[in-house]
């Protein structure tokens, strides 16, 4: 028991383990995630639907989406954005590794006769010869990636973007990092059996890596027959470091906002969004 508690409380190196696939594609959690995506009132898995409507409208207007324009959305989930982008008449592609979410997205696109191609793939491995007018990755998914994975995605964005194309992404800021604190807790059947259908105990250890601007929510889930650990990493960014990172990958940040709905940039915002293009 002491040794097990020691393991539960142990602090890994930043981004030492990547468990996003287990989190999003496990049959039980994928179904829970889809319920959160589709709950229009909450900001879990996807943001609330009022925000998504405003955001997709802003992006559609900003990028003048319509027939002849092509869009790719990485980590599209159940296609809440891709659906709205496609309503403009644009040719839309969505990439996600959750088959559960994609099945919902595909049905909705077919029922509404929309021009959307969905790819069931880890976006780190995804490739195509097509070039796009707009690339999106929404709800700060870039922040869960390790430095190496970020680099893979930025190279991919550069390759897939048309010369005059736009890239729109959002991020957590240093301001959000300041608000995070280290903590340990445990709970029985956390969030109404989020992790497993059977009885479970969930240990949540939150670690803060001050010099890296990284946090980890480490969930250790224990059932009668099994135990597993999920690592939710978040990198928090400063504007200057983002500009540098994009620059190193041949991309120029042209505009900053507080969110992907075009809210004016505020230095004290917990989130920020950027528009970038090829250098
Ligand atoms: C926070 S959700 C955001 C979904 C969508 N962008 C939205 O805002 O409604 C992150 C999505 O990215 C997907 N995802 C996470 N890591 C991925 C990866 N490496 N490859 C493909 N999809 C991934 C998840 O399955 C999930 O649908």
Helical spans, DSSP H, in the chain: 2-8, 20-25, 27-38, 49-62, 80-86, 99-111, 147-160, 174-179, 190-193, 239-248
Q: Confidence band (pLDDT; 50, 70, 90) for 115?
A: confident
| Minimum CA distance residue for ligand 1 atom 12 | 75
Task: Tell me what pLDDT residue 51 has.
Answer: 98
Task: Tell me what pLDDT residue 26 has.
Answer: 95
Domains defined along the chain, listed by start: 2-12+176-234 (2.20.25), 27-122+129-173+238-278 (3.40.50.150)
Q: What is the pLDDT of residues 84-107, one digit of tens each?
A: 999 999 999 999 999 999 999 999
Task: Tell me what pLDDT residue 176 has.
Answer: 98
Task: Tell me what pLDDT residue 200 has.
Answer: 98
Average per-residue pLDDT in the chain? Answer: 97
Q: Please report, for residues 7, 185, 200, the alpha-carbon distance to residue 3 in angstroms, rounded to integers and kept in the order given.
A: 6, 18, 19
Task: Tell me what pLDDT residue 268 has.
Answer: 95
Q: Is 132 in the pocket of ligand 1 (CB under 6 A)?
A: no
Angle at 51 between CA 240 and CA 169, to 5 degrees: 30
Count of residues for the chain? 279
| Minimum CA distance residue for ligand 1 atom 11 | 75
Q: What is the pLDDT of residues 141-183, one digit of tens each?
A: 999 999 999 999 999 999 999 999 999 999 999 999 999 999 9
Ligand 1 atom closest to Cα of 149?
A: 19
Task: Tell me what pLDDT residue 7 has.
Answer: 96
Structural contact between residues 95 and 126, judged by C-beta atoms closer than 8 angstroms: yes
Q: Is 80 in the pocket of ligand 1 (CB under 6 A)?
A: yes
Q: What is the pLDDT of residues 195-252, one digit of tens each?
A: 999 999 999 999 999 999 999 999 999 999 999 999 999 999 999 999 999 999 999 9
Ligand 1 atom closest to Cα of 73?
A: 6
| Minimum CA distance residue for ligand 1 atom 15 | 75
- Going from the Cα of 67 to the center of ligand 1, the distance in angstroms, rounded, reads 26
């Amino acid at each position: 028991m002491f040794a097990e508690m020691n393991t539960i409380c142990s602090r890994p190196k930043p981004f030492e383990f990547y468990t996003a696939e287990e989190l999003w594609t496990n049959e039980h959690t994928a179904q829970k995630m889809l319920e959160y995506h589709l709950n229009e009132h909450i900001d879990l898995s996807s943001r609330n639907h009022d925000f998504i409507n405003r955001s997709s409208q802003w992006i559609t207007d900003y990028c003048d989406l319509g027939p002849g324009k092509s869009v790719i959305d990485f980590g599209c989930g159940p296609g809440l954005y891709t659906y709205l982008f496609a309503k403009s008449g644009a040719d839309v592609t969505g990439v996600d590794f959750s088959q559960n979410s994609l099945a919902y997205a595909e049905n909705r696109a077919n029922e509404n006769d929309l021009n959307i191609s969905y790819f069931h793939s880890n976006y780190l491995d995804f490739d195509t010869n097509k070039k796009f007018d707009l690339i999106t990755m929404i709800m700060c998914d870039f922040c869960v990636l390790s430095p190496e994975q970020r680099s893979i995605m930025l190279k991919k964005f550069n390759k897939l973007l048309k010369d005059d194309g736009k890239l729109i992404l959002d991020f957590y800021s240093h301001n959000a990092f300041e608000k995070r604190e280290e903590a340990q807790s445990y709970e029985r059947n956390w969030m109404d059996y989020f992790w497993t259908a059977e009885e479970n105990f969930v240990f949540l250890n939150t670690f803060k890596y001050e010099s890296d601007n990284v946090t980890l929510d480490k969930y250790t889930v224990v059932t009668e027959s099994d135990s597993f650990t999920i690592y939710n990493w978040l990198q928090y960014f400063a504007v200057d470091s983002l500009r540098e990172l994009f620059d190193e990958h041949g991309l120029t940040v042209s505009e900053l906002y507080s969110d992907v709905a075009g809210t004016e940039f505020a230095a004290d915002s917990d989130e920020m969004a950027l528009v970038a293009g090829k250098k």
